[in-house]
Amino acid sequence: MLFSLTALLFAPSFVASTTSGYAQSSPVFPSPPGKGAGIWADAYENAQDFVRQMTLEEKVNITRGFTVTDNVCAGNTGTVPRLAWPGMCLHDAGNGVRAADLVNSYPSALHVGASWDRNLTYDRAYYMGQEFKAKGINVLLGPNAGPLGRTPLGGRNWEGFSVDPYLSGQLNADTIVGHQDAGVIATLKHFIANEQETYRRPYFGVEAVSANVDDKTLHELYLWPFMDGVRAGVASVMCSYNRINNTYGCENSKLMNGVLKTELAFDGFVLLDWNAQHNLESANAGLDMLMPGGGFWGNNLTQAVQNGSVNEDRVTDMATRILAAWFLVGQNGTNFPVPGIGLKNLTQPHEQVDARIPESKPVILEGAIAGHVLVKNNDALPFKKNPTMLSIYGYDATIPGTKNTDNLFQLGYTSSAEMGQAVLGTEQHFNQAAKGGTIVTGGRAGANGPAYIDDPLSAFQQRAKVDGTWINWDLTSSNPDVNAASDACLVFINAIATEGWDREGLHDDFSDGLILNVASKCANTIVIIHAAGIRLVDQWIDHPNVTATVIAHLPGQDSGEALVKLLYGEAVFSGKLPYTLAKNESDYGVYAACGRGPTNTTDPQCDFTEGVYVDYRHFDEKDILPRFEFGYGLSYTTFNYSSLAIEPLGIKPDAQGSSTPSSDEALWEVIATVNATVTNTGPVAGAEVAQLYLGIPNSPPKQLRGFKKINPSPENSTEVVFELTRRDFSVWDVITQGWVVQSGEYAVYVGASSRDIRLDGSITV
């Protein structure tokens, strides 16, 4: 096995203690220049030719942001007029083009995670990428591999696909390829351990939280999806606001120079999160671009080169990485619009740039359907016949009256008073149920506003108009009257979350009370929860009159239509939870964000002492019964699993002292295959997510290492094949700084969820 020399330099790694006793991040210098390996080769050749012609000032100029009054891009780089380089517009993000007209609102990443559907993930990313391109956005500020979801209260967990690093990694990779195939630069963010919003940034003399993570946890959990992103060719990575082992993410040479650029051999550019803490030295630490202004760089960077504190080669490398990204996705072609052309100030006269294309329509609707998870069904769904009378309750059934490009709208609030006052740091006031209306996204950078929201009440009414169904509705009362002739009562509630604040809790009394009140009067009560994260259900899930429950996540603009199709049986439930839904808050290994509540610290510390035991890894290890486990979701049909076949392909343990470095091709070699047959044994069509978990020695009992979404027709079977790589079997070795396959017995589980294992076997290594 190859042994990396640089790896040795990293060995005195994270979490050495200092005199203060706090974890520390060790320095790694110098900054490794991009190599232009693999898919980057041509882009580097072009970029190097281009940068050779640039002066120092021109190079410095493209590594920073400038205020441009002509567009509302979140950021604009400098330009190089002498060489006719137009500069770049950078803009958010996850649900589609933000703060713009004539764009679509796609399902949120969490919703995509709940679909477990790699094809839909790619298609969504591709069409969304086309919209960014049409608007003249060079750099799309997504997708998101951090936060992963260490605390279930995390305000931005919904911007990521899953708390599981494997699922997150696969879907981030598919998204990156989709965006970049469409011709825009993807930005994988936020690097790294950006797991909470509380103390997310320095604030009036208070430092940002320090995420104190040990090297093994970093690699096996938080870095894992970033590895997939870099391998998928992501052209940009955004460093995060928080500190990691007491050094700010965007000043952290260990992480940028060491982990990202050396260990993962990342050839793209590292982008500052907006106004994140950094200094002049961050240039040497591996940061390549500042946003939205010039911060400590600009002329200071030019002077730093002149006085020798930053080497000009470093600035050349920054410019080369930035231009290589631009060439990689083909923005040098003639068909890329003028940067920011479709992102004008909406209140000023502007050309109408309609970014929506017809091909995206089925992808948006299919995506909305696929992320709904049916968690309880006492034969209430699908409706057996077209109902004669439906009663609809709850604030989440209709759209809020605020304007569609307004953040309050995205959050489902009617006023900022209703939303609550929020400040950074310790004072959190955040009304977690958005009672102003339905939510189809979470809030802020990940959100956007569409032309329409197909909200639940309207969608059921459209259907009623055709069928002659009588609809009763009362969306305001906490204890509504129920017409005793109702065929079913649908109760709509939500759980909102947003960038900037962590959530107050995982359920609220008003919504739980509403459900219990309706259920006390209606024998067929169906609960639908739009949820920007985990929403507990134990206050009412066992109520005999609650006959079905749907976790509807954040479906995007086609929310109502998707739900109507599912409830009437014109579409099938195929989503599975991309997280664990516990019975109680206290069941989660990590619950609150660090530093919540009254505290007078100016230096908040957050020790990730739980290691990799987050979400189901914790529940399995401690043998805690969840309400609905990771990977769980019901279907309208049933699936049988059979014929497990495990084939080791020359899998051998690593010898003592040897390991595979992160950037080594051998890590991605398939070293075992697992086959199983899945049969649709029910009467109707359906889709199943077959999941493979490995029990790796000295690790959590089960870890997801494969999934396939399949849809055998009734009475038919599909063979699923899982290809397991060396990395899938490996653990991180802090001594050799590489991945090690240990000797021992590896349990192999194939099933319908993390706890519904249908087939098991093992591989002895």
Q: Which residues bind ligand BGC (CB under 6 A)?
A: 74, 92-93, 141, 189, 273-274, 445
Tally of CB atoms within 10 A around 150: 28
| DSSP-assigned letter for residue 729 | H
Q: Say if strands 717-725 and 670-680 run parallel, antiparallel, or are unpaired.
A: antiparallel
- Spatial separation of the C-alpha atoms in residues 703 and 749, rounded to whole Å: 10
- 317 catalytically annotated: no
Tell me whether the omega of the peptide bond preceding residue 646 falls within 30 degrees of 0, making it cis: no
- Write down the least CB distance from residue 191 to ligand BGC, Å: 11
Minimal distance in Å, beta carbon 648 to ligand BGC? 42
Q: How far is CA 572 from CA 458, 546, 569, 634, 637, in A?
A: 21, 20, 6, 10, 9
First-to-final CA distance of the chain: 17
β-pairing, 139-140 vs 717-725, is unpaired
Would you say 499 and 600 are in contact if contact means Cβ atoms under 8 Å apart? no
Distance CA 637, CA 681 (A): 7
Of the two residues 139 and 363, which places its CB atom closer to ligand BGC in the complex? 139
Q: Output DSSP code: residue 584.
A: S
- Comparison of 190 and 463: residue with beta carbon closer to ligand BGC: 190
189 or 231: CB nearest ligand BGC: 189
User: Given the complex with ligand BGC, which of 93 and 397 has the nearer CB atom?
Assistant: 93
Q: Please, which residues bridge with residue 550 across strands?
A: 374, 528
Q: Which amino acid is at 246?
A: N
Angle at 643 between CA 641 and CA 648, to 5 degrees: 120
d(CA 161, CA 146): 10
Q: Which two tokens stand for residue 714?
A: 């009734």
Asked if 606 and 196 count as a contact pair (C-beta separation under 8 A), the reply is yes
CB of 271 to ligand BGC, least distance (A): 9
Read off the DSSP letter of residue 643: E
Choose, from 101, 117, 267, 273, the residue flagged as catalytic.
273
Separation CA 45–CA 35 (nearest Å): 10
Scanning 18-146, the segments in alpha helix (DSSP H) are: 41-52, 56-61, 109-115, 118-134
CB 680 within 8 A of CB 710: no
655 by DSSP, 3-state: which? Answer: coil
C-alpha 633, offset from chain centre: 20
Closer residue to ligand BGC in complex, CB, 90/594: 90
Residue whose pair of structure tokens reads 């049909």 in the numeric block:
637
Least gap, CB of 656 to ligand BGC (angstroms) = 43
In terms of DSSP bridges, do strands 373-377 and 389-393 run parallel, antiparallel, or are they unpaired?
unpaired
Considering the complex, what minimum distance in angstroms separates the CB of residue 273 from ligand BGC? 5
User: Which residue's CB is nearer to ligand BGC, number 197 or number 214?
Assistant: 197
Which C-beta is closer to ligand BGC: that of 445 or that of 724? 445
Pick the closer one to ligand BGC by CB: 207 or 499: 499
C-beta of 375 vs 445, nearer to ligand BGC = 445
Query: Which residue, 92 or 396, is less far from ligand BGC as judged by CB?
Result: 92
**Burial per residue of 154-175, b for 16 or more beta-carbon CB atoms within 10 angstroms, e otherwise:** bbbbbbbbbbbbbbbbbbbbbb
Q: How far is the CB of 348 from ligand BGC (least distance, A)?
A: 21
> Considering beta carbons, is residue 152 or 443 the nearer one to ligand BGC?
443
> Taking the complex as a whole, how short is the minimal distance between the CB of residue 95 and ligand BGC, in angstroms?
13
What Cα–Cα distance (Å) separates residue 37 from each residue in 34, 40, 105, 231, 265? 8, 5, 36, 11, 9
Q: Which is nearer to ligand BGC, 114 or 424 (CB)?
A: 424
Nearer to ligand BGC, 445 or 493 (CB): 445
**Cis preceding linkage at 190, omega within 30:** yes
Give the 3-state secondary structure of residue 721: strand
The whole-angstrom separation of Cα 491 and Cα 394 is 6
Shortest approach of ligand BGC to residue 449 CB, angstroms?
A: 15
User: According to the 3-state scheme, what is the secondary structure of 297-350?
Assistant: CCHHHHHHHHCCCCCHHHHHHHHHHHHHHHHHCCCCCCCCCCCCCCCCCCCCCC
Cβ 499 to ligand BGC shortest distance, Å: 6
Shortest separation between residue 201's beta carbon and ligand BGC, angstroms: 8
Which DSSP string corresponds to 405-444? TSHHHHTT-S-HHHH----STT-----SS-TTS--SS-BG
- E-state strands within 435-496: 470-474, 488-495
Residues that are catalytic: 273
